[in-house]
Structure 1
Amino acid sequence: MKNTIAERILDFLKGYPPFNLIPKITLLEIAKNVEIHYFEKDQIIFSQNDNPHEHFYMVYEGAVRLYRFAEDKKHVLDICDEGDLFGLRPLIMKENYLMGAAANEETILYSIPINIFNDIILNFPKVSQFLIASFATNTRDPFSEKHKGKLFANIEAIKKVENNFIEAQSAKYTRNPITCPPSISVQEAAIIMTKNVINSIVVTKNKIPIGIITDKDMRTKIGTGLFKITDKAASIMTQPVITFPENITVAEAQIARLKHKVSHLCITKDGTNTSELVGILSEHDLNLIQGNNPLLLIKEIKLAKDAETLKYIRSKAAELTKGYIEQEIPIYFVTKVISEINTAITKRAIELSIKEIGRKPPVAYSWFAVGSQGRKEQLLMTDQDNALVFENVEEEQYESVKSYFLNLATKVTEKLNIVGFDYCPANIMASNPKWCSSIDEWKQQFKEWIKDPIPEKILLSIIFFDFELIYGNQELYDEMAKSVLKYIRKNQIFLSFLGKVTLDNPPPLGFFKQFLVEQDGENKDNFDIKSRAIRPLVDAARIFSLYHGLQINNTIARYEKLMEVEPQNKDLFESCSNSFKILLQFRTSQGLTNNDTGRYVDINNLSKADRLKLKSCFNPIKNVQEALKLRFKTSQIS
């Protein structure tokens, strides 16, 4: 006989996170144990410092206000409405309630016993991930060692889900690969490869891979006469091999090949190069699994003859991004891959433009990406931001040299525009004479920005503090980066002004945690996720990194490094990093769905789960901005 009350509860629960992540049969068992409670307006549910109940709560109808007493004043922290959870964290932490809860109006609550939910946390990692993110709204340091020790008994499994690519498709590799000992001749190895119709052979010693010989080795080392066919296989093998464990995913394989520039990965029992070989994963294997492979796209880019071809390849990269997002592959991996593709496109646009001009650049130069591309966070087709620096020349050469590079930059930006990267509305492009200058001129420009930090100049200059070498001379880039950090070390007050401008940006939420939306214009009533949520985290990471003299541009990489250099603030920076990942993935998903930049979000069309996901990211923004105020004394800047 059906339990109709439990069925109704199940129907409600499955519409909200994290219950929508739980299989129906398991969710029904939870529903059977749910109790229903009615509270009149202003009735207390639990008080601050009370011992935790044996269950946590979900709002079925009505609303609940969460409040805290501090310095004899009552502060309303949040208003929970339909589908919101509260009162869970103290149960997991085994501590008293840090806040009180009272009915804000007539309210019906579902109470869920913690004893049956503990198993859910352990057995369903996605539930754990959701709770880790959502706890950011209830505590300053949701990722602290204190919390990690108690938060979940299965914390290692959760970390694995968060940091590895287990959501991605498993790579199918060739088992029992053909091998040979290092002592046989190259000719013997070639005969084995020919007989087995393979393009590579793994050189092993006691079943452990020590090297690999490919068709390329045969061509470049034997065919060119560098070695003889009678030489030992060990003399021409590529070593050491790149190894991975048997559960390698497509995502891991792709990023390994991008990083190490190899065509084959060796699969060993424990993933190290000291254990037994069990398989080989080749470029061909990956191509069969995923035809829209980033390495293939980069190869196509290098062979492209015009901007139209680059545009077609970039459209395939957009499909690749969409596939990664749908597979829930970690956003840091996605940014790395798409950034490599964007960089390759820009490089090819420069090469095609130089060929079009018909003569090589007269002096050494560097092409920089600034802004989101400079931070390697440009996942969608937004506008282009770039600059060019060339080496110092004699005065009589200056005009002709600059003329060449302006001509080059104009052709490059035209090609990037054809590809789909719109011209920068603020004209921050290398084709603008102001942003195509010699190294001394660039140094002087940064010096002026840093020594005289008036708001107008700061707003203009912020984008240039995220510059990344795309093409050209590495030494020019290093010289410029070092000079910028040197000027900032001498003028630390600049960071206070930078912080002040950053903190002038309105927060994401109003007093009662409602989203602050645009009040007028074509995006009226939409939420600007870039300006109100992503940018504050980007700005904070930049300021703290400049303070420590870190030559790092990527926001996630900045926060990870800051965790090392400021271990006392590790929890704060980790929560910021996690929030940034969620926001960037959310914006990318929105942009791909709506075929736009993903910047403006229609809050009313979001599911409850998505609204909660966004809200979970906002507390770290508030916390890191408080840290900026204290560290850089921004309140003293007029």
Structure 2
Amino acid sequence: MNTIAENIAIFLKEYAPFNYLSHDELVEVSNSIGVIMLEKNKTLFKIEDKLHESFYVVASGVIHLSFIADAEETMLNKCYAGDVFGLRPFFAKNNYMMTAKAREDSIVYAIPIKIFKPFVSQNPNVLDFLLESFASNTRNSFDKEKRGNLITDTIYSDQTSGEIQYFQSLSYNKTPLKIASKAVVKDVAQLMTDNLSNSVIVIEENFPIGIVTDTDFRSKIANGRFPLISTVDKIMSSPVVTVSENVSVAEAQLMLLKHSVSHLCVTVDGSDKSDVKGVISEHDLVVAQSNNPGVLVREIKRALTPKELKQVREKLTDLIQSSIAKNIPLAHIYNISGEIISAINKRAIELAILDLGSPPARFAWLSIGSQGRKEQLLLTDQDSILIFEDVAADKYRDVKDYFIKLSKRVTTILEKVGFLYCPNGHMASNMTWCKSLTDWVKQYNNWMKTPGEITDEMSSIFFDYEIVFGENKIEDALTEVIFNNVKNNNLFFDYLGNDTLRKNPPLNFFKKFNLEEEGENKGKFDIKTKAIMPLIDGARLLILSMQIKGVNNTYLRFKQLAMADPKYSEIYLSCAEAFQVLSKYRTLEGLKNDSTGQFINIDELTKIDREKIKAALVPMKELEELIKDRFQLTQFS
């Protein structure tokens, strides 16, 4: 027995993705592993080096990964024992795009890709791990508490982390070159050159029977094996590997590895007995991996301008669109989108602070409304408040002036990113919504003890908030004030309950949609105001009345209510489902027309879609009856 290989196998078993392999499989891999001793400051590979035939695992020591940005070498990450790096040869053919250098005397294991590939193609967990690692370059070792987690792990629950590759959009060539099997090689080469294409599909009756790539020309024509006057059926790779149109990044990568090919043919049903719809190349997968949510968060952290943040927001829109197309549960999409939008807001605040200088007091920036509920998928307006800690009276004016300036810079940055200014002025840049903790306590006390008074009229969105930046203790203090005020506060719930039920019904007496009667949206259905908002308002009202803290998302609020109030669990669960259905239709409308999705042209929907929306409106009546019964609404009726 090779004791060195045995020891390496035992070491690797402690770390992902090797923990997915059996001991015998690890010993088999370990027998082929090279052990590299790197002295301090010694480079293993550098930017633009040709790719190695191995990838690497740190056995001991520290390896620094760096890249060039703005003509300067920037540290990207640190790799410690058990960290995997140098994965580019697995997923791309171009040269290294970073430098790996020993920070101290280190030992690195070199694992031959040829030996490890079969275990990847047989084990989806190994593939998922390597894809995530490659997409986020390496592990997030800046955060010592979470070292050993991938960057992407920080924005995924356990429920969604395994699905990362299914959230990513996969753009590919949907107008591939097609030729007959008896086409002459010379003519095909010219066709590919004229169209700047590196592949061509060989078809019979529009069914794919083979593929010819640049590699075939280099390996079969350039070396003289076949003359230029040959027909392409002599040099094509056959049969061609086919996949369906809705293939995910993970599935496509798995097929490339499994069959050791560089291109996949997309067909209508995924077989070679249906029409050709496109070609996926290795390059397409590399591009797709740049839309990995973890990578987007890292791009946000490095962004120095609103333009860079806007580019990430545009990638997020692509990610949302492809996720919906793949039927990813909307709750998961909300979670991912919410974290990325929150990261954009946080970076906008950081850039404003870099510009203005350090804050004169501690503070908390809270997103309110849809963003506070993590329900912002479309480019809707921005809603925020700023709370700064109490300061001495003689400093108050200067401190508030700083935070107003800060807020104006932040909201300007976010407007450039694409988040519109709130038409109602519910933004931290409005001096009414930027004030000290004591002033905010007075504000909420007034709203909740004397609701309905005109001064600083209350909007219910102020009860949906999430901290984006600053002191958690300040947010906690605000939450404490709200939940102290809800106890036995019939007047407040009377006001909130009537506000919830004040919306016009979505359907008329004849079960037809209540459409807009005038204005630019005449004849359209206001799905936001008439269908979605009553569910949002109802969930908020009930969650506050039951004093359930820390649940802001409407879908999760209904789920929580079903557990806390089992007598009506069926109604709550129906409302949760209805919220998902209606939100999906609004999102699809917004993505289609690059709008907020508020107004839907009912005539453009299929009969099935119209019936699905109507079915989602049914639980609203039950919710309305429950609210009327529970709160005995009177004063504000």
Question: Structure 1 length normalisation: TM-score?
Answer: 0.60
Could you tell me which amino acid in structure 2 is paired with residue 213 of structure 1?
A: D
Measured at CA, do residues 199 and 343 of structure 1 come closer, stay the same or move farther in structure 2, by a change above 3 Å?
farther
Instruction: Give 1:311 shift.
Output: 1.3
Residue 394 of structure 1 pairs with residue 282 of structure 2: no
Aligned-partner Cα distance in 2 for 1:540–1:497: 12
Q: Of 527, 530, 533, which residue of structure 2 is paired with 1:529?
A: 527
Aligned 8 A contact 2:380 2:596 in 1: yes
Aligned-partner Cα distance in 2 for 1:175–1:553: 37
Correspondence for 1:546 = 544
Residue 379 of structure 1 pairs with residue 267 of structure 2: no
Correspondence for 1:315 = 314
Measured at CA, do residues 248 and 630 of structure 1 come closer, stay the same or move farther in structure 2, by a change above 3 Å?
farther
Q: Over residues 60-92 of structure 1, what are the superposed CA-to-partner deviations in whole Å (9 max), with x where a residue is unaligned?
A: xxxxxxxxxxxxxxxxxxxxxxxxxxxxxxxxx
Residue 335 of structure 1 pairs with residue 334 of structure 2: yes
Q: Of 447, 450, 462, which residue of structure 1 is paired with 2:448?
A: 450
Correspondence for 2:71 = none
Could you tell me which amino acid in structure 1 is paired with residue 297 of structure 2?
A: I
Instruction: Give 1:344 shift.
Output: 1.1
Could you tell me which amino acid in structure 1 is paired with residue 385 of structure 2?
A: A
Count of equivalent residues: 429
Aligned 8 A contact 1:383 1:421 in 2: yes
Aligned 8 A contact 2:563 2:569 in 1: yes
Aligned 8 A contact 1:369 1:469 in 2: yes
Aligned 8 A contact 2:444 2:482 in 1: yes
Aligned 8 A contact 1:304 1:310 in 2: yes
Aligned 8 A contact 1:370 1:466 in 2: yes
Could you tell me which amino acid in structure 1 is paired with residue 622 of structure 2?
A: N
Aligned-partner Cα distance in 1 for 2:482–2:36: 54
Moved more, 601-610 or 393-402: 601-610
How is 1:426-445 mapped onto 2 (pairs within 5 angstroms)?
Answer: 426-445=424-443
Aligned 8 A contact 1:406 1:432 in 2: yes
Aligned 8 A contact 1:492 1:547 in 2: no
Aligned-partner Cα distance in 2 for 1:604–1:249: 45
SS of alignment partner, residue 387 of structure 2: strand
Measured at CA, do residues 315 and 213 of structure 1 come closer, stay the same or move farther in structure 2, by a change above 3 Å?
closer
Q: Of 491, 495, 498, which residue of structure 2 is paired with 1:497?
A: 495
How is 1:588-599 mapped onto 2 (pairs within 5 angstroms)?
Answer: 588-599=587-598
Correspondence for 1:21 = none
SS of alignment partner, residue 371 of structure 2: helix
Aligned-partner Cα distance in 2 for 1:577–1:285: 37
Instruction: Give 1:188 shift.
Output: 5.7
Aligned 8 A contact 2:365 2:467 in 1: yes
Aligned 8 A contact 2:334 2:374 in 1: yes
SS of alignment partner, residue 307 of structure 2: helix
Aligned 8 A contact 2:20 2:126 in 1: no
Aligned-partner Cα distance in 1 for 2:19–2:313: 31
Instruction: Give 1:285 shift.
Output: 13
Aligned-partner Cα distance in 1 for 2:341–2:302: 15
SS of alignment partner, residue 389 of structure 1: strand
Q: Over residues 345-381 of structure 1, what are the superposed CA-to-partner deviations in whole Å (9 max), with x where a residue is unaligned?
A: 1111111111111x20111111110110111101000
Aligned 8 A contact 2:132 2:152 in 1: no
How is 1:534-613 mapped onto 2 (pairs within 5 angstroms)?
Answer: 534-549=532-547, 550-613=549-612
Correspondence for 1:213 = 83
Instruction: Give 1:461 shift.
Output: 2.5
Aligned 8 A contact 1:507 1:532 in 2: yes
Aligned 8 A contact 1:287 1:293 in 2: no
Superposition RMSD in Å: 4.3
Could you tell me which amino acid in structure 2 is paired with residue 477 of structure 1?
A: E
Q: Over residues 185-221 of structure 1, what are the superposed CA-to-partner deviations in whole Å (9 max), with x where a residue is unaligned?
A: x996979x99972244799xxxxxxx943359xxxxx
Aligned-partner Cα distance in 2 for 1:173–1:325: 33
Q: Over residues 448-488 of structure 1, what are the superposed CA-to-partner deviations in whole Å (9 max), with x where a residue is unaligned?
A: 00000117579632110001101111111111112111111
Instruction: Give 1:493 shift.
Output: 2.9
Measured at CA, do residues 263 and 353 of structure 1 come closer, stay the same or move farther in structure 2, by a change above 3 Å?
closer
Measured at CA, do residues 494 and 613 of structure 1 come closer, stay the same or move farther in structure 2, by a change above 3 Å?
same
Correspondence for 2:150 = 262
Correspondence for 2:222 = none
Aligned 8 A contact 1:314 1:419 in 2: yes
Measured at CA, do residues 457 and 465 of structure 1 come closer, stay the same or move farther in structure 2, by a change above 3 Å?
farther
Aligned-partner Cα distance in 1 for 2:527–2:311: 29
Aligned 8 A contact 1:534 1:580 in 2: yes
Aligned-partner Cα distance in 2 for 1:459–1:224: 59
Measured at CA, do residues 344 and 445 of structure 1 come closer, stay the same or move farther in structure 2, by a change above 3 Å?
same
SS of alignment partner, residue 198 of structure 1: strand
Could you tell me which amino acid in structure 1 is paired with residue 627 of structure 2?
A: L
How is 1:97-136 mapped onto 2 (pairs within 5 angstroms)?
Answer: none
Measured at CA, do residues 458 and 305 of structure 1 come closer, stay the same or move farther in structure 2, by a change above 3 Å?
closer
Could you tell me which amino acid in structure 1 is paired with residue 292 of structure 2?
A: N
Residue 198 of structure 1 pairs with residue 196 of structure 2: no
Aligned 8 A contact 1:459 1:501 in 2: no
Instruction: Give 1:318 shift.
Output: 1.1
Residue 467 of structure 1 pairs with residue 503 of structure 2: no
Instruction: Give 1:436 shift.
Output: 0.3
Aligned 8 A contact 2:152 2:295 in 1: no
Aligned 8 A contact 1:179 1:201 in 2: no
Correspondence for 2:290 = 291
Aligned-partner Cα distance in 2 for 1:264–1:322: 20
Could you tell me which amino acid in structure 1 is paired with residue 55 of structure 2?
A: I
Could you tell me which amino acid in structure 2 is paired with residue 197 of structure 1?
A: S
Correspondence for 2:199 = none
Correspondence for 1:370 = 368
Aligned 8 A contact 1:382 1:422 in 2: yes
Higher RCO, 1 vs 2 (CA within 8 Å, ≥6 residues apart): 1
How is 1:5-24 mapped onto 2 (pairs within 5 angstroms)?
Answer: none
Aligned 8 A contact 1:180 1:201 in 2: no
Could you tell me which amino acid in structure 1 is paired with residue 399 of structure 2?
A: V
Moved more, 549-558 or 456-465: 456-465
Aligned-partner Cα distance in 2 for 1:231–1:249: 21
Instruction: Give 1:342 shift.
Output: 0.8
How many percent identity over aligned positions? 36
Q: Over residues 368-426 of structure 1, what are the superposed CA-to-partner deviations in whole Å (9 max), with x where a residue is unaligned?
A: 10110111101000111111000000000100100000000000000111111111111
Instruction: Give 1:319 shift.
Output: 1.3
Could you tell me which amino acid in structure 2 is paired with residue 398 of structure 1?
A: Y
Could you tell me which amino acid in structure 1 is paired with residue 359 of structure 2?
A: P
How is 1:136-215 mapped onto 2 (pairs within 5 angstroms)?
Answer: 179=26, 197-200=54-57, 212-215=82-85
Instruction: Give 1:492 shift.
Output: 3.9
Residue 360 of structure 1 pairs with residue 230 of structure 2: no
Q: Over residues 123-182 of structure 1, what are the superposed CA-to-partner deviations in whole Å (9 max), with x where a residue is unaligned?
A: xxxxxxxxxxxxxxxxxxxxxxxxxxxxxxxxxxxxxxxxxxxxxxxxx9999698579x
Instruction: Give 1:606 shift.
Output: 1.4
SS of alignment partner, residue 489 of structure 1: coil
SS of alignment partner, residue 369 of structure 1: strand
Aligned 8 A contact 2:56 2:85 in 1: yes
Measured at CA, do residues 548 and 175 of structure 1 come closer, stay the same or move farther in structure 2, by a change above 3 Å?
closer
Measured at CA, do residues 297 and 174 of structure 1 come closer, stay the same or move farther in structure 2, by a change above 3 Å?
farther
Extract unaligned runs of 5+ from structure 1. 1-171, 204-210, 217-221, 233-244, 266-270, 273-279
Instruction: Give 1:306 shift.
Output: 0.7
Could you tell me which amino acid in structure 2 is paired with residue 407 of structure 1?
A: K
Instruction: Give 1:439 shift.
Output: 0.7
SS of alignment partner, residue 295 of structure 1: helix
Instruction: Give 1:249 shift.
Output: 11
Aligned-partner Cα distance in 2 for 1:306–1:566: 48
Aligned-partner Cα distance in 1 for 2:311–2:416: 10
Could you tell me which amino acid in structure 2 is paired with residue 416 of structure 1?
A: L
Aligned 8 A contact 2:451 2:458 in 1: no
Measured at CA, do residues 230 and 587 of structure 1 come closer, stay the same or move farther in structure 2, by a change above 3 Å?
closer
